[in-house]
């Protein structure tokens, strides 16, 4: 499960693939991968985005070699109170809501083709609602992991204590009981010092993975990603035994492996 923070959703451009590189360090701690969790190491993935990541995009990414796929950021309130059913025609599991006699499908997964590689991304700013929304999926064993995106508005990046409390609640009330990994996606802050402080705090919550979008909140996809902080972020994650994935300016898979001199790794 991943949590997200994106106040005004960025337009989609060449940020569709995230990647992780690893190094081996026998002295680094290691966060155990839960039984139903994800090993993020050495993976090419469909990156966690705000609006993109619906079922057709995920299946297409898997077809062309993605190891893991994130669903779109799904607001916690939108999922709470939904009805789950299996579509007899497609075999897909659907979560829907009925309003004014009209049923709307809010989330759809194909368990046969993606459940073992799908990460459900929650948009939230509340520990209580995040847990409630996550349990809708966890109880049915559907996604491989959960992620939260720095939080339901870039403001959550400005409230690291709240973001940490959301992650801690997800780890303790969903991750551990259901043996599912919890991860988080964030953007860079204004200075390396602020980013370093945030990453350190989040890595102490019990998460198994952190995705860094190498742009600050105001930056648009057409602006060059800031990769100079990757080594610092990777080193912090490695020191906590947390996997680190990056995205930004990675589109074709043959461009998805930056030089080891410029990046640091992730989980031991």
Alpha helices (H) in the chain, listed in sequence order: 55-63, 76-79, 111-114, 127-138, 160-170, 176-178, 192-203, 230-240
Q: Is 203 labeled as catalytic in the residue annotation? A: no
The Cα 162–Cα 164 span in angstroms is: 5
Positive/negative CA dihedral, 190, 199, 130, 95: positive
Secondary-structure breakdown of the chain: helix, strand, coil percentages, each rounded to the nearest 5: 30, 25, 45
Annotated catalytic residue, options 142, 203, 214, 244: 142
Burial of 99 (0-12, 13-18, 19+ CB in 10 A): exposed
- Encoding tokens for residue 170? 């997800």
CA 24, 27, 32, 33: dihedral to nearest 10 degrees?
A: -10
- Smallest CA-to-CA distance from 207 within 165, 247, 249 is with 165
- Which residue is associated with the tokens 């952190």? 210
Active site residues: 142
């Amino acid at each position: 499960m991943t949590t997200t923070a994106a106040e005004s959703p960025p337009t989609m451009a060449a940020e569709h693939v995230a990647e992780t590189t690893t190094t081996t360090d026998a002295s680094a701690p290691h966060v155990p991968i839960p039984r139903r969790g994800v090993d993020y190491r050495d993976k090419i993935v469909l990156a966690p985005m705000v609006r993109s990541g619906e079922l057709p995009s995920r299946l297409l990414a898997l077809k062309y070699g993605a190891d893991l796929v994130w669903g779109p950021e799904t607001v916690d309130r939108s999922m709470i109170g939904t009805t789950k059913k299996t579509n007899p025609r497609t075999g897909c599991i659907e979560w829907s809501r009925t309003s004014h006699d009209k049923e709307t499908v809010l989330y759809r997964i194909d368990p046969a083709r993606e459940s073992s590689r799908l990460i459900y991304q929650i948009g939230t700013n509340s520990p209580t609602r995040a847990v409630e929304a996550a349990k809708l999926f966890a109880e049915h064993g559907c996604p491989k992991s959960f992620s939260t995106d720095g939080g339901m508005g870039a403001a959550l990046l400005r409230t690291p204590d709240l973001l940490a409390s959301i992650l801690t609640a997800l780890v303790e009330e969903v991750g551990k009981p259901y043996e599912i990994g919890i991860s988080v996606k964030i953007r860079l802050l204004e200075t390396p010092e602020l980013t370093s402080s945030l990453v350190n705090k989040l890595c102490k919550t019990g998460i198994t993975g952190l995705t860094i979008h190498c742009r600050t909140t105001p930056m648009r996809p057409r602006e060059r990603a800031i990769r100079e902080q990757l080594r610092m972020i990777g080193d912090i994650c490695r020191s906590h035994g947390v996997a680190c994935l990056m995205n930004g300016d990675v589109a074709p898979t043959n461009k998805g492996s930056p030089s080891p001199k410029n990046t640091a790794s992730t989980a031991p």
